[in-house]
């Protein structure tokens, strides 16, 4: 079977590796031939993916998506920021049965917009915090008025997010004054009450087109507050068995209700005993990178199996694990790390992504440490990061 993957970044390259193991052919839609997945895929279609992306010398999103659809049996996504027009066109092909889409265009379109997504969750009765739609005006006086209205509705500070296009904390900001909204002026946003959260959890759900739905154990996430960027993941999470079961059941019900196909990451906040849903990603996620070494089958393998309609894999955790993202701390003009995976020892696995463009807190790679329990895995991760820090003094992670 031939699978098309929209997007050719880091996640796409892991998906291509998994596809190969499953005997599937891959074609990636990439905006440049240098993207990581282009080196691993069987075929590449070059073209823009998001609306507003430059198309100099490459096909526009609608043409590129059409080309991809012609070459494959099923299309899936490694990112949710996909052109609305290209999705409309793909929806037409999906309805006529010319190509399968997993997850469906309807599901991806709903989830790619944070406001639409939260409105759906609320309407379906799933637990979410307070939020309002927020179109940010360009002029200062109107921005002041908008900020005051949000403070009155949501409290101060609140959290502002662009409706679309955000990832890795880009497009998310805590707002205490109108000035802090200025960068987002002209954008369609969602404003949310700041949740006094205790922990951040994620559940990876895998759903087969025939309806079977399974979940990985709960992951606990730690964020770097400087940029709301994911720094550390622990699995299993340090929560009670009762809360873990509730989180898994809630996530499973949600993805079943959506009718999603493939892997979904359901991100949640805990406040005391309560769970609030933060967001759902309609794709494999950075939080699940540790499934590569800590589980019998990775999120990437599960996603490709579900998209292709192959049987889902058994979810079996081999060892407790901790993953640390290797974040770029300062401008690294001369760093030219090759893409590579290596082990520091049997229990610590390092993945460098070979990224050339550097900006503070960009994810340059990750490290997964295994242990007999989460504490041991955590200690190994800290030692591993320290060793890398010594080796690559230009990278710095707060361990």
Ligand X SMILES: Nc1ncnc2c1ncn2[C@@H]1O[C@H](COP(=O)(O)OP(=O)(O)OP(=O)(O)O)[C@@H](O)[C@H]1O
Footprint of ligand X on this chain (CB under 6 A)?
129, 159, 161, 166-169, 172, 192, 194-195, 197, 200, 223, 228, 230, 267, 278-279
Residue keyed to tokens 């493939």: 262
Stretch that binds Mg ion, among 44-52, 254-262, 264-272, 373-381 (CB under 5 A): 264-272
Measured from the CB atom, the residue of 26 and 325 that comes closer to Mg ion is 325
**Which of 169, 309 has the CB closer to ligand X?**
169
> Closest CB to ligand X among 42 and 224?
224
Closest contact distance (angstroms) between CB of 335 and ligand X is: 23
Pick the closer one to ligand X by CB: 68 or 121.
Answer: 121
The H or E element containing residue 68 is helix 61-71
Q: How far is the CB of 345 from Mg ion (least distance, A)?
A: 31
Q: Which is nearer to Mg ion, 283 or 319 (CB)?
A: 283
Choose the stretch contacting Mg ion; rule: CB under 5 A; options: 150-158, 259-267, 321-329, 372-380.
259-267
State the nearest-atom distance from the C-beta of 235 to Mg ion, in Å.
17
Indicate which of ligand X, Mg ion, none lies near residue 195 (CB less than 5 to 8 Å, by partner kind). ligand X
Residue 261 Cβ vs ligand X, minimum distance, rounded to whole Å: 20
Closest approach of Mg ion to the CB of residue 291, in Å? 17
Whole-angstrom distance, CA of residue 21 vs CA of residue 195: 42
Q: Least distance from C-beta 162 to Mg ion, angstroms? A: 13
Full DSSP string of 131-161: EEEEE--SSHHHHHHHHHHHHHHH-SSEEEE
Interatomic CA distance for residues 353 and 81, integer angstroms: 21
By a kind-dependent CB cut-off of 5 to 8 A, residue 214 interacts, out of Mg ion, ligand X, none, with none
Q: Considering beta carbons, is residue 59 or 276 the nearer one to ligand X?
A: 276
CA proximity to 273, closest of 246, 302, 311: 246
- Integer Cα distance of 195 and 272 in angstroms: 12
Between CA 132 and CA 153 the distance in angstroms is 8
- If one counts every other C-beta atom within 10 angstroms of the C-beta of residue 197, the result is 15
Q: How many CB atoms lie within 10 A of CB 50?
A: 18
Least distance between ligand X and beta carbon 285 (Å): 7
DSSP 347-397: TEEEEEE------TT-EEEEEEEE-SSHHHHHHHHHHHHHHHHHH-TT---
**Choice between 185 and 276, CB closer to Mg ion:** 276
For residue 257, the tally of other CB atoms under 10 A from its CB is 13
Size of the site for Mg ion (CB under 5 A): 1
Give 230's strand partners.
223
- List contacts with Mg ion (CB under 5 A): 267
């Amino acid at each position: 079977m031939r699978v098309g993957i929209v997007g050719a970044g880091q996640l796409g390259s892991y998906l291509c590796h998994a596809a190969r193991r499953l005997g599937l052919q891959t074609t990636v839609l990439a905006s440049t031939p240098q993207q990581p997945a282009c080196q691993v895929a069987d075929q590449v279609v070059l073209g823009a993916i998001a609306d507003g992306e430059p198309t100099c010398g490459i096909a526009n999103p609608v043409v590129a998506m059409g080309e991809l659809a012609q070459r494959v049996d099923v299309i899936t996504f490694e990112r949710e920021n996909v052109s609305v027009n290209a999705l409309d066109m793909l929806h037409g092909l999906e309805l006529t049965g010319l190509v399968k889409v997993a997850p469906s265009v309807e599901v991806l379109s709903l989830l790619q917009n944070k406001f639409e997504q939260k409105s759906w969750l609320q309407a379906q009765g799933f637990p979410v915090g307070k939020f309002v739609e927020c179109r940010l005006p360009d002029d200062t006086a109107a921005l002041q008025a908008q900020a005051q209205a949000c403070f009155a509705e949501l409290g101060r500070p609140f959290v502002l997010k662009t409706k679309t296009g955000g990832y890795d904390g880009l497009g998310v900001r805590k707002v205490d004054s109108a000035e802090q909204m200025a960068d987002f002026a002209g954008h369609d946003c969602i404003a949310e009450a700041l949740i006094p959260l205790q922990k951040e959890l994620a559940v990876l759900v895998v759903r087969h087109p025939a309806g079977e739905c399974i979940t990985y154990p709960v992951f606990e996430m730690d964020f770097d507050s400087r940029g709301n960027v994911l720094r550390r993941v622990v699995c299993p999470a340090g929560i009670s068995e009762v809360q873990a079961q509730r989180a898994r059941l809630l996530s499973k019900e949600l993805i079943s209700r959506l009718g999603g196909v493939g892997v979904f990451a359901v991100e949640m906040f805990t406040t005391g005993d309560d769970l609030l849903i933060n967001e759902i990603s309609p794709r494999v996620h950075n939080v699940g990178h540790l499934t590569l070494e800590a589980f019998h089958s990775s999120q990437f393998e599960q996603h490709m199996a579900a998209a292709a309609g192959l049987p889902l894999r058994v979810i079996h955790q081999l060892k407790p694990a901790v993953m640390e993202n290797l974040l770029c701390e300062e401008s690294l003009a001369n760093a030219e790390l090759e893409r590579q995976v290596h082990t520091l020892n049997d229990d610590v696995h390092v993945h460098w992504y070979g990224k050339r463009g550097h900006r503070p807190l960009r994810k340059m790679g990750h490290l997964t440490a295994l242990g007999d329990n989460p504490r041991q895995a955590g200690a190994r991760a800290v030692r591993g990061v320290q060793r890398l820090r010594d080796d690559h003094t230009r990278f710095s992670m707060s361990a």
